[in-house]
């Protein structure tokens, strides 16, 4: 990327916001595009006709007044699908980490991370990778080794997404799912798209196979 990496910072703690600002302001390859204290304000600033100046990176706190970072994550992905979201948080709880990642966060850093770790995370995510705080990464490896299904899958798909995936497994088309559940086609289409994204597949058969393999569905007998 030749132009500076445009960064949106969503953080309600003014002191920590200043720390991030000062850490990045002298970095020629990075630019703080905007700063907000709430997710609602940040989301409200994003307009379809501003795609040319949309952020490349959203640095998002989890504990925000009003809408939390976890609640806001899907809305950021919808409003600026090209942007990568890096969580900055004091929380290293299993639920927060797993849910943030399964909701689409490209990175998760603790606020105790160094400036160099933050810059490295931004560069890694922009290059198409992912970035986890070293403590979080080691923790996730241990969790996934010990209990892959319950730790990861509890937060992977919503109840409605599992319901729709089960109907896809039964061979129903999107139109038939609409009729069965009494919901509109665009809603079903959106759920199916999110299912594919979360399971990292491109079609219904692959999604069903992945659901059995990772434990969303019980083992076939």
For residue 12, give both structure tokens: 């309600």
75 in any annotated domain: yes
List residues bridging with 157 in a β-sheet.
none
Q: Tell me which residue range forms the domain holding 186.
A: 156-214
For residue 51, give both structure tokens: 């795609």
Count the Cβ atoms, other than its own, within 10 Å of residue 55: 24
Count the Cβ atoms, other than its own, within 10 Å of residue 207: 23
CATH number at residue 203: 1.10.10.10
Question: Residue 192 contacts by C-beta under 8 Å, 6 or more apart in sequence?
Answer: 164, 168, 174, 204
Q: What is the pLDDT of residue 145?
A: 44
Residue in the block written with tokens 């090209």: 82
| 29 and 95 in a common domain | yes
Q: What is the pLDDT of residue 117?
A: 86
Our CA dihedral for 96, 99, 101, 102, rounded to 10 degrees, sits at 170
> Residue-wise pLDDT tens for the chain (221 aa)?
568 899 999 999 999 999 898 888 888 899 999 999 999 999 998 875 465 578 999 999 999 999 999 899 989 988 888 899 999 988 877 778 877 877 888 888 888 888 888 898 898 888 876 677 666 665 554 554 444 444 445 456 788 888 999 898 888 889 999 999 999 999 999 999 988 887 777 888 888 877 776 667 665 53
Q: In a 10 Å sphere around its CB, with 0-12 CB exposed, 13-18 middle and 19+ buried, how is residue 174 labelled? A: middle
pTM of the model: 0.63
Starting at the edge strand that comes first in sequence, how are the strands of the sheet with 84-89 ordered?
Answer: 30-36, 5-10, 57-61, 84-89, 107-110, 131-132
| 141 and 181 in a common domain | no
| 136 and 168 in a common domain | no
| 69 and 134 in a common domain | yes
For residue 37, give both structure tokens: 């204290």
């Amino acid at each position: 990327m030749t132009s500076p990496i445009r960064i949106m910072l969503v953080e309600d703690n003014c002191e920590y916001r200043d720390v991030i600002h000062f850490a990045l302001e002298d970095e020629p390859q990075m630019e703080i595009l905007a700063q907000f204290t709430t997710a609602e304000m940040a989301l409200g600033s994003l307009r379809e006709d501003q795609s040319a100046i949309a952020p490349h990176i959203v640095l998002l706190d989890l504990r925000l007044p009003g809408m939390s970072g976890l609640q806001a994550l899907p809305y950021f992905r919808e409003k600026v699908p090209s942007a990568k979201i890096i969580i900055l948080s004091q929380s290293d709880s299993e639920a927060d980490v797993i849910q943030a990642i399964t909701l689409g966060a490209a990175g998760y850093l603790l606020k105790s991370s160094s400036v160099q770790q933050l810059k490295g995370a931004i560069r890694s995510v922009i290059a198409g990778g992912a970035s986890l705080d070293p403590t979080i990464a080691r923790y996730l490896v241990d969790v996934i080794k010990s209990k892959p299904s319950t730790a990861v899958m509890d937060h992977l798909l919503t109840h409605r997404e599992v319901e729709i995936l089960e109907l896809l497994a039964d061979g129903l088309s999107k139109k038939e799912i609409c009729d069965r559940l009494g919901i509109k086609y665009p809603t079903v289409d959106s759920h199916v798209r999110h299912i594919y994204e979360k399971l990292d597949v491109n079609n219904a058969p692959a999604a069903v196979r992945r659901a059995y393999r990772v434990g969303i569905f019980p083992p076939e007998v």
